Amino acid sequence: MTKFKNLNGILLVDDDLAINFIHTRVIQKTDINVAVKAVTNVEAAIEFLTGKGQYENSPDTFRPGIIFLDINMPGLTGWDFMEEYHKIDEHQKAQVVVVMLTTSLNPADEERAKKDELISTFLHKPLRPETLMELAAKYFEEIG
């Protein structure tokens, strides 16, 4: 198993259960030693990061090194997540990387993502093992 410093977990935020399943399998396929949490809405993602709601006093929470965030979700969108994300305490944010992972082909979405200093990368679905390995190598130090 490959281990990266400060990459103990990955949070998937996507309303599509099948995509979350596929992306979880992709992460497992890379053989990176991380915990994976998949949530289907913005509220659950913020609760997970802040340890509130259903995640209050939960031993299963972790501070993700990477958050893969979909844009187009019913109710609150990925952009709504980013508005809330900017407001939470630094120690509750991802340790390094927020990645917009979307099917959006709208150039305005990519431009908006580039203007947000907390979004590291804008990618198109699906997540691929080599893409995750590239992100891990770029933003984290390999330790074994």
pLDDT tens digits along 9-58: 999 999 999 999 999 999 999 989 999 999 999 999 999 999 999 888 88
- Going by their DSSP bridges, the two strands 66-69 and 97-102 should be labelled as parallel
- In 79-93, which positions are buried (b, 16+ CB within 10 angstroms) versus exposed (e)? bbbbeebeeeeeeeb
- DSSP three-state, residue 68: strand
Q: Please list, in sequence order, all residues whose beta carbon lies within 8 angstroms of the beta carbon of residue 51, skipping any fewer than 6 positions away.
A: 57, 58, 61, 92
Domains of the chain: 9-139 (3.40.50.2300)
Return the closest-CA partner of residue 42 out of 10, 11, 73: 73
Quick: pLDDT tens for 80-113: 999 999 999 887 776 768 999 999 999 999 999 9
Provide the 3-class DSSP secondary structure of residue 98.
strand
d(CA 59, CA 51): 10
Q: What is the pTM of this model?
A: 0.93
